[in-house]
Structure 1
Amino acid sequence: MKYLFLAIVGMIALSSCKTTQAYLFSTFREPQQDGLLLAGSTDGYHWKSLGGPFNTPGVGRDKVFRDPSIVEGPHGTFHMVWTCSWTNDKGFGYASSKDLIHWTKSQYVEIMKSEPTTINVWAPDLFYDARKKDFIIIWASTIPYRFPKGEEAEDNNHRLYYTITKDFKTFSPAKLFFDPGYSVIDGTIFKVASKNYVLVFKDNTRPERNVKVAFSHSPIGPYAIPSAPFSPHFSEGPTVVKIGHNYLIYFERYVAKKYGAVETKDFKTFTDISNEVFLPKGQKHGTIFKVKYSIYKKLLKYQAQANKGH
């Protein structure tokens, strides 16, 4: 009932034209070459497809488009990074936009060039540090024989790495970001207080394959001992959004082929709200970000015009 109430409140706000912001969810569909798709919401719980694709990726060895991460930087520019290959690649894709409809030409960022045995660069995720005016990008890579193998094969023993950039032209050398002692992928940073940050990530080891959190006083860490898992097995691609006083963590249940979600106030106690959220069919790993409502309205109008064209 709480979430039905939120939806009704959102509809009332829309009708009174007092809504000032909306939520967007970047995503993709199978097959993976098409490009950026978006879902939109006014309450953060109920999502509708906004169509797409909005860009033409076409970079990297495999030229796929997976795991899009979008963040708004200074001057109203949106920046996006994505996975562009499964294996035998050392970079990710990048593009920018002012309206989320028209994008710059896709670029390839070979971020792991200094590590020649790198197998992959998966799920790059953007965080904007407004304090330092830096963009932090984290991703998962496997460098065989770099870490104790544990449960995973040498070609599947991931750790999280990061780089920092101010302009997406010059990038700091890739460095190790997070090593909890086992294989991890799909990390995302979220600021929860003036000096507190949470890292939400997938424990990629057998038999876990679930989502956990860790805390730090700096966006680049170090991050403390990870929590126990709060998602079912076979969950990945977490993304976080703050709605009122609560934080929602969405994650893809890739075997069940659906999304799950939990609600928390402190990232220590989690309530499963998977049955209270709605996402478009086929929604895949991406990120949630807030936008001005005017941006959302333009996307709705663009979608309506595209549908007329068909």
Structure 2
Amino acid sequence: MKPIAWIIGLWMCLSSCTRDTFLFTSFHEPANEGLRLLYSPNGYQWKDLDKVLLKPEVGTQKVMRDPSMVRGKDGTFHLVWTCSWKGDKGFGYANSKDLIHWSEQRFIPVMEHEAATVNVWAPEVFLDEETGQFVIIWASTIPHRFTRGVEDEDNNHRMYYTTTYDFKTFAPTQLFLDPAFSVIDAVIVKRKKEDYVLVLKDNTRPNRNLKVAFGKRATGPYTNVSEPFTDPFTEGPSVVKVKDKWLIYFDSYRTKTYEAVETKDFKSFRKAKVSVPEGHKHGTILKVDRNILKGLLP
């Protein structure tokens, strides 16, 4: 028979090898280096892998801002990102099985049908398990298309979306959200079947804060937009569920801090104690098997 210490050691090893970890897509300003990743065992304290995994090659400016990533049912990671501040009518895309070896990068021209489009910002990819489709949402400005407040016409955003099963063929672009104000940085959250939350930035002046809205399908419609749950000058929400709480991370760009709140119901919010490396800029959070992280570590 094996010694008890050996058995305990084997059990601890197996437990460690199968435990999930959290990954947080990231970039550093001025966004010309490319994809970075943070990792965390608990969703609260984060470390930087301290290396660039994918250098941007598409778009007018060839930058990588707002990297959003989701893992398909076949294990493939799909990444989308903002590739220019203005001028582009689409976003960047690449995929990987291990986050080390990447496909050829492609430019997805989702707004080419709208000649006056100013920008395509912060694409967010979401796997809709109800339909099997990937839903991609983003913010664009089309001047003189919508009612505006004090914002300039080229800063009056609305959310748009497309869907795809394979990232080769995409459904025609549609309007995703018009809350009667300029909106950017929206994130889809599924609580349960026919119960979705949209975390969004009210980009109007003087607000520039985060709110939530509610819907029955991933593609909306989303209604009952809440009062803000963050101070002004906050953006880039990233949402992850840790045990029985939802953590909403965000960039407090006036104070140059990265913060988070906790919620159980998306109605009441409490500041969370988190630790995020300096220089991190917003992306998305996903849970993966620890073996994925092991392949990325030195």
| Equivalent residues of 1:33, 1:58 under 8 A apart | no
Return 5+ residue gaps in structure 1 as ranges: 1-12, 305-310
Cα drift, residue 242 of structure 1: 0.3
Runs of 4+ in 1 over 3 A off after TM superposition: 13-16
Task: Specify whether residues 191 and 148 from structure 1 end up closer, same or farther in structure 2 by C-alpha distance, changes over 3 A only.
Answer: same
Matched, 1:294 2:291: yes
RMSD (CA atoms): 1.3
* Secondary structure at the counterpart of residue 262 of structure 1: strand
Aligned to 1:164: 163
| Equivalent residues of 2:17, 2:291 under 8 A apart | no
Return 5+ residue gaps in structure 2 as ranges: 1-11
| Equivalent residues of 2:185, 2:235 under 8 A apart | yes
* Secondary structure at the counterpart of residue 79 of structure 1: strand
* Secondary structure at the counterpart of residue 59 of structure 1: coil
> For the residues of structure 2 that align with 1:160 and 1:231, how far apart are their CA atoms?
20
- Superposed CA deviations along residues 29-53 of structure 1, whole A, max 9, x for unmatched, are 0121111000000100000001221
Tell me the percent identity.
55
Is the helix fraction higher in 1 or 2? 1
After TM superposition, the structure 1 = structure 2 runs for residues 188-203 of structure 1, keeping only pairs within 5 Å, are: 188-203=187-202
Aligned to 2:7: none
* Secondary structure at the counterpart of residue 96 of structure 1: strand
Matched, 1:118 2:117: yes
Cα drift, residue 56 of structure 1: 2.0
- Superposed CA deviations along residues 239-295 of structure 1, whole A, max 9, x for unmatched, are 10000000000001112111110000000000011xx10011101011111111111
| Equivalent residues of 1:241, 1:289 under 8 A apart | yes
> For the residues of structure 1 that align with 2:136 and 2:264, how far apart are their CA atoms?
26
| Equivalent residues of 2:47, 2:276 under 8 A apart | yes
> For the residues of structure 2 that align with 1:155 and 1:120, how far apart are their CA atoms?
9
Cα drift, residue 109 of structure 1: 0.6
Matched, 1:204 2:200: no
* Secondary structure at the counterpart of residue 294 of structure 1: helix
| Equivalent residues of 1:235, 1:253 under 8 A apart | yes
- Superposed CA deviations along residues 155-176 of structure 1, whole A, max 9, x for unmatched, are 0000000000111111111110
Matched, 1:277 2:271: no
| Equivalent residues of 1:159, 1:183 under 8 A apart | yes
- How many residues in Structure 1 have an aligned counterpart in Structure 2? 287
> For the residues of structure 2 that align with 1:253 and 1:14, how far apart are their CA atoms?
39
- Superposed CA deviations along residues 177-208 of structure 1, whole A, max 9, x for unmatched, are 00110000001101011220000010000010
TM-score, normalised via structure 1 length: 0.90
Letter in 1 for 2:292: I
> For the residues of structure 2 that align with 1:105 and 1:56, how far apart are their CA atoms?
11
Cα drift, residue 18 of structure 1: 6.2
Task: Specify whether residues 61 and 293 from structure 1 end up closer, same or farther in structure 2 by C-alpha distance, changes over 3 A only.
Answer: same
| Equivalent residues of 2:17, 2:290 under 8 A apart | no
